[in-house]
Amino acid sequence: MKAVAKGRLAVAVLVAAAVALTTMSASAAWPERPVRIVIPWAPGGSTDIVTRILAADLTKRLGQQFIVENRAGAGAIVGMQFTAQQPPDGYTFLLTSTGYGFLINKNSNIDLVNSFASVSMIGFSDSALVVHPYLPVNSVKEFIALAKKRPGEIMYSSSGVGGFPHMSTELFKLMAGVNLTHVPFKGGGPAVADTAAGHSQLQLGSIPTVIGQVGAKRLRAIAVGGPKPHPSLPGLPTISESGVPGYVSQIWFGVFAPKATPPAIISAMHGGVSSALDNPDTIKRLNEQGVDINKMSTAEFAKLMAGEQDKWAKVIKAANITGE
């Protein structure tokens, strides 16, 4: 009996070793075919812009095509659910940003902390408060005064329920004591286009999303939402110093993988992204879009994500944000 037991143990050890060697070999060879990066937002928004800059660099750097795929809907829930259901083989990743529709929709059964493995932090960008030029305001204080005279009449666009512009504006409403009407879209691109066309009057979105329309003078920027003025929009004060003390709203951008993706593949992808973020051309392109690169380890990124999810859950509760 002892001989049989020893034989079974030996077989089990050999099987485990073979599986480990196969996994290590596959990870070492990764990527051997095109890699898909899913964006849970529509084209044209800040996450789409950042993803395409990074994908172009990774394609050159890692020798395989990194394909960008937009799967928008339900405040990023559609794209998140799709990615989480893919094989954890290193050929499907999620690149998303500050967006917490899944905390508002209690039936989503998904979140960034428990449903995914955190891979790479890319960086942050400030929000910017922009208005359509026909709105007669040039400062945060003037906007607040107008909004209080016209409660509920001023409409703001967003990338969707729980998206960064939605969360940023609801936080602004809460802190400034104003009533604005939400007009959600399936992404930042369609949302900012709606404001530029004058259908809605305000967006408090990320700098990468709005900067093109500001440069074309289709929108007027009146303040930034970061802790200090931003070089991409020189001369603009912060929202905090110009009417809403303590207000800060910044968007993060990061890469995630299906939960069971092998650590060796996560490490390889993290290394590829980290190297891309050292590339002067990629740095320049991201900085031009208002993105401040912030590299960190996978463990540090996972800790940040847990903190961010907790922070925005509290904002959702305090502002009584519900699905629309």
pLDDT at residue number 228: 94
Percent of the chain residues past pLDDT 90, beyond the cut:
79
Q: 126-242: same fold as 34-124+251-318?
A: yes
**pLDDT, tens digit, 9 for 90 and up, residues 103-159:** 998 888 999 999 999 999 999 999 999 999 999 999 999 999 999 999 999 999 998
Question: Which residues make beta-bridge pairs with 38?
Answer: 69, 94
The CATH H-level superfamily of 34-124+251-318 is: Bordetella uptake gene, domain 1 (3.40.190.150)
For the chain, the domains span 34-124+251-318, 126-242
Fold for the domain defined by 126-242: D-Maltodextrin-Binding Protein; domain 2 (3.40.190)
Burial class (CB in 10 A: 0-12, 13-18, 19+), 58: buried
Alpha helices in the chain (DSSP H): 2-29, 46-62, 77-84, 101-104, 140-149, 164-176, 188-196, 207-215, 263-276, 280-288, 298-318
Helix (H, G, I), strand (E, B) or coil at 151: coil
Mean model confidence pLDDT for the chain: 90
8 A C-beta contact, residue 107 and residue 257: no
Residues in Cβ contact with 304 at an 8 Å cutoff, skipping those fewer than 6 apart: 121, 252, 296
Q: For residues 290-310, give the mean pLDDT.
A: 95
User: Out of 14-23, 37-46, 66-75, 312-321, which region has the weakest mean confidence (pLDDT)?
Assistant: 14-23
pLDDT above 70 (res 23): no
Coil, helix or strand at residue 86: coil
pLDDT score, position 110: 94
The confidence score (pLDDT) of residue 13 equals 44
